[in-house]
């Protein structure tokens, strides 16, 4: 995660300001240190030296060091205001993609209203197309932050914030909740996949498809899923309609588990469904009294949901 490698128009705007301010500061710093060094050497006390002429006030110097900083601030303010106004625009061109981002303790929901797709913790967006993120907070304040995309924006209960940008290029990036939101704030990561247009369409087509029908061990897992409290919190389209936890319809196609904490493997999942709080402090999913075999079958089922 680096804010110094820009991956969107917004990030480039912010980075250009950062560069400008850095170079101005470096220039001023050099000037100050050179003058300071000169003064220290030129006017140092020497044995036997006479007391220098005593003076008070020098109006032109005082005027200069009032105007100087004012000019520096002006040079910084003009492009800063331009970038602020540009990046606060929430214009939604007709071809823009809307993603509704909801921050929960401690995971992310990503809904694509125009596509009929809902997923969690792994955000998929197309490169080169404007994406308008509508941020909604159902519980406490979170902050949506993908450093490569530039800028953070808070996800606040009772209000809707918007952040809009055009991702530059396909790739795999990471994000992180950037507002302290409770026990597992640090474990509220997200993975971001930027696709080219064709790959994004393929992803959407797969996400819109029904949950896959499991076989073997996974089929036993489905029966356990349907018979346990899982269905009260999670949606697997065609099986359950819970909304308290992440939508799991295509959970097996995600590479991470627990909002970016672990690789999504059947073994980790088996451990997770037995005792999630042991793996992620504070997580709202309680431990379940499952046998090893049941946990394994459940893990096999969930990873089969590609």
Question: Interface with ligand CUA by CB under 6 A: which residues?
Answer: 103, 106, 142, 177, 179-181, 185, 188
| H or E stretch covering 136 | strand 131-136
Q: Which two tokens stand for residue 276?
A: 């999630």
Does the CA dihedral 292-297-299-300 come out positive or negative? positive
Q: How far is the CB of 190 from ligand CUA (least distance, A)?
A: 10
Please state the closest distance from residue 103 (CB atom) to ligand CUA, in A.
Answer: 5
Shortest separation between residue 292's beta carbon and ligand CUA, angstroms: 33
Least distance (Å) between residue 185 CB and ligand CUA: 3
| Residue 299 exposure: Cα atoms within 13 Å on the Cβ side | 22
Measured from the CB atom, the residue of 149 and 203 that comes closer to ligand CUA is 149
**Based on C-alpha coordinates, what's the Rg of the chain?**
27
Nearer to ligand CUA, 135 or 177 (CB): 177
185 vs 296, which CB is nearer to ligand CUA?
185
- Closer residue to ligand CUA, CB minimum distance, 7 or 137: 137
Q: d(Cα 103, Cα 184) in Å, to the nearest integer? A: 13
Closest CA to 101 of 161, 147, 175: 161
- CB-nearer residue toward ligand CUA: 1 or 24: 1
**Minimum distance of ligand CUA from residue 104's CB (angstroms):** 8
In the complex with ligand CUA, the residue whose CB is nearer, 136 or 168, is 136
CA distances from 122 to 70, 111, 168 (A): 46, 11, 18
Least Cβ distance, residue 37 to ligand CUA (angstroms): 46
Give the bridge partners for 128, in sequence order.
none
CB 120 within 8 A of CB 146: no
Give the C-alpha separation, 22 to 26, whole Å: 6
């Amino acid at each position: 995660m680096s804010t110094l490698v820009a991956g969107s128009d917004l990030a480039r705007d912010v980075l250009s300001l950062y560069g400008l301010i850095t170079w101005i500061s470096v220039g001023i710093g050099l000037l100050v240190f050179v003058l300071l060094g000169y003064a220290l050497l030129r006017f140092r006390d020497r044995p036997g030296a006479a007391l220098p002429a005593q003076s008070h006030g020098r109006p032109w110097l005082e005027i200069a060091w009032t105007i100087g900083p004012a000019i520096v601030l002006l040079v910084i303010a003009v492009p800063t205001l331009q970038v602020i106004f540009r990046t606060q625009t929430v214009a939604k061109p007709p071809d823009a993609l809307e993603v509704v981002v909801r921050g929960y303790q401690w995971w992310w929901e990503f809904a694509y209203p125009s596509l009929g797709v809902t997923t969690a913790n792994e955000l998929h967006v197309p490169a080169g197309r404007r994406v308008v993120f509508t941020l909604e907070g159902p519980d406490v304040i979170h902050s949506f932050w993908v450093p490569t995309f530039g800028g953070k924006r808070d996800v606040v209960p009772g209000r809707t914030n918007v952040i809009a940008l055009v991702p530059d290029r396909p790739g795999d990036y990471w994000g992180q909740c950037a507002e302290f939101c409770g026990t597992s704030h640090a474990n509220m990561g997200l993975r971001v996949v930027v696709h080219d247009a064709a790959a994004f369409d393929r992803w959407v087509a797969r996400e819109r498809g029904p949950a896959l029908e499991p076989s073997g061990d996974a089929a036993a897992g489905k029966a356990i899923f349907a018979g346990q409290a899982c269905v009260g919190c999670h949606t697997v389209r065609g099986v359950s309609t819970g909304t308290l936890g992440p939508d799991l319809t295509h959970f097996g196609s995600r590479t991470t588990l627990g909002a970016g904490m672990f690789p999504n493997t059947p073994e980790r999942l088996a451990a997770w469904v037995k005792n999630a709080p042991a793996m992620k402090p504070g997580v709202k999913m309680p431990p379940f009294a499952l046998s090893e075999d049941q946990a394994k079958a459940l893990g096999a089922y969930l990873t089969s949901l590609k």
